[in-house]
Chain A
Amino acid sequence: MVDAIRIIYVEDNEIDTELLKMCVNRYKFTQPISFDIAETVEEAKEMYNTNIHSAALVDWNLPDGEGIEVVQFIRSINNEVPVFILSGALPPKHQQKAEQSNATAYLEKNYNKNFANYLYTFL
């Protein structure tokens, strides 16, 4: 049996979590994908494991800070792993901050086929 690719998803909105999982399940990748869910910056820092997680998806707004803090934390450990910042809206100010944080990409939360296919190109 093929091992699942593990992605850490940092998101405090359970409906968004469900939507993303459904999107990934619907538009299947060559390997199964499983998600570890963290709801806060603090939880993400505790949960992220550079030996386990093949990618990170991080919501911009988190209860105890900004997703950018998670990106910076992951980048301090691993400069190669794909890290995506997600948001419901993409104001230019946030885009600039996302670029400065060295995130792989800053994506709108449109959980559809294009989103899934784009994500898969990095896995």
Chain B
Amino acid sequence: MPNDSNTHLHSQLAETQRELAQAKADLTQLKAEYQEFVYIISHDLSAPLRQIEGFSEMVLERHKDDFDDKSKRHFDFILKAGHSIRNILDDLTGYSRIIKRDEPFTDIDLNVIISSNLAELSSVIESSSASISIDTMPIVKGDEELISQMFYHLIHNALHYHLPNTPANITLSVDELDNFWQFCITDDGIGIPENIHEKIFKMFRRGVSEKKYTGAGVGLTYVQKILTKHQGSIWLKSEKGIGSSFYFTLRKA
């Protein structure tokens, strides 16, 4: 005959199972709503934007000689604002793609990935007169496209936010821990004040004005999301005017 204690445990287990099933159902619904929301953002919103851009360009092209300088400038603002919305939509879609992506993890030779990133960034490396020192990198397990994207953004940031008229010095090092590889990318760039260390990982939030350093404010958001998908994490040490060190971890293969 079951005692009271067992009956109570059975009842608790059944309740927990019900709650778990409900949570799973809620999650499935939330995912579906999220997909729908992303579709609205990327597709439905882009149609009226395309029309604004198209007709604005048409009016400007036809009547540009009739406009005074002020009106021309205002039309440029309209086109520029349209371009900004387009970029925001593209960035949101890119972020959603990272979230949705569910490719099997494979062995990745980071040396190959980083060489390819450097080749892609060759013009930025040249314009910032950068010297880059990179440790021999390990093989990790992950989604190759996302890992490549992550290193690209981190190296690009280190190159991009360098002090004016000063060549950038960048190092990329790695330490082996028990279960993780701990990487560190260090630059001697403009640095980041401590009060915005959390903010810079948020979508479209930046540490500097657009006029001084162009950018959309998505690179670090992407990086953090990619690391989360790989059970990694990221943090930084930085001092304004001295430089920044971004530390991040990836699970060992």
Contact = CB atoms under 8 A, between A and B. Distances in A.
A28 B196 CA distance: 38
A2 interface: no
A39 B207 CA distance: 12
Interface string A23-56: 0000000000000000110000000000000000
Contact of A18 (B77, B206, B208): B77
Contacts of A61: 205
B196 A64 contact: yes
B63 interface: no
B80 interface: yes
Contacts of A65: 193, 195-196, 199
Interface range, A side: 10 to 19
B80 A12 contact: no
B210 to A, nearest CB: 7
Interface range, B side: 10 to 19
Interface string A44-84: 00000000000000000101110000000000000000000
Interface string B237-253: 00000000000000000
A4 interface: no
B191 to A, nearest CB: 11
Nearest to A12: B209
A63 B77 contact: no
Contacts of B195: 65
A15 B77 contact: yes
A64 B208 contact: yes
B81 A63 contact: no
A15 B209 CA distance: 14
Given A63-B208, A65-B199, 5 more contacts: A39-B211, A40-B208, A63-B207, A63-B210, A65-B196
5 closest residue pairs by CB, A with B: A63-B209, A39-B209, A12-B209, A15-B77, A63-B208
